[in-house]
Structures are given as structure tokens and as C-alpha cells.
Amino acid sequence: MTKILTFGVFDYFHLGHLRLFKQCKEHADYLVVAVQNEEFIKKYKPEANVLYSTDERVEILEALRIVDKVVRFNSVGVESLEQIDFDILALGEDHKGERFDIATKWCEEHGKKVVRLKRTPGISSSQIKSGLQNEKK
């Protein structure tokens, strides 16, 4: 059995998230979804407007048939990768920067494959949040 891992906040769950999970299942038959802890989000982005608690986001994801396992994480990095059993790391095309370079290098050094997946055009949690905030005004 091949296990694929993807990371995210998964707040304001939407069609783009579901399509990400479907893309993951094209590469493996077991999907592990890592959900970022709310406390960590608030620590580094105090202005972040998180709709659902970590427990609520985990509950939503665990209810999806396509998701086989849900785990929690603080930051994408070696510490998180070492604690999760997976064969393939799925990153979005927007996952760029030093921490993702470090994660990719760690995967290569430990025999893990890395795949880059496409975003669903025209939808993102940021757009949803922005639209909701504009509605309030």
C-alpha cells in the first residue's frame, strides 16, 4: 500500500481541497491529511481569521470517504515529516520557499517521492474569507 501525505490548514473547506485529495489518490491508495494546529497558526499569524478550531477541521476531514487518516502538525518541516508514515509528499504548486525546499530535500534523502499538484483555478480559502469580509461591510 502506498501512502501519500498532504499538509494544510483546511479552514473554509471547499472544492479545491476536495480536488487536491482526488489528485493525491491518483498517486497512492492511502491518503494522510495533516491539519495545522490552530495554536501554531495564531502564534505566527495573530491576525489570521480561523473559522474552525483544529478539532472541528479534523472532524470535517475525517468524515470524508476519500481521506484515510488525519493527523495534526505545527509546521511543514523535518520534525513533522519524521513523525508521519508516508511514501509520497504532495505539495501544491504554491508551496514554495525555504521550508518546502527543506522538506523536499529531507524526502529525497529518505527515499520519499515528492509530487507537485495543481490548484483549482478561481478558488481559495483566502478568496472565500475576503468575500465574506466584504459581505459584512
The answer to whether residues 114 and 107 touch, using CB atoms and an 8 Å cutoff, is yes
Query: What domain count does the chain have?
Result: 1
Q: Which structural domain range is residue 13 located in?
A: 3-136
Given its phi and psi angles, is residue 10 left (phi above 0), alpha (psi -120 to 50 degrees) or beta? left
Beta bridge partners of 72: 35
CATH of the domain at 63: 3.40.50.620
Taking CA atoms, 124 is separated from 98, 102, 128, 130, in Å, by: 22, 25, 6, 10
Q: What mean pLDDT is predicted for residues 48-55?
A: 87
pLDDT higher than 60, residue 47: yes
pLDDT at res. 106: 97
DSSP string, 65-77: TT--EEEEESSSS
Q: What mean pLDDT is predicted for residues 59-66?
A: 98
24 pLDDT band, cuts 50/70/90, is very high
pLDDT at res. 5: 98
Give the tens place of pLDDT for each residue, 75-100: 889 999 999 999 999 998 888 899 89
Least confident of 38-42, 70-74, 79-83, 115-119: 38-42
Residues in the chain: 137
Exposure pattern of 7-17 as b/e (b: 16+ CB <10 Å)?
Answer: bbbbbbbeebb
Spatial distance between the Cα atoms of 35 and 89, rounded to a whole number of angstroms? 14
pLDDT higher than 90, residue 134: no
Task: Please tell me the pTM assigned to this model.
Answer: 0.88
Q: Which three cell numbers stand for residue 3?
A: 501512502
pLDDT at res. 41: 85
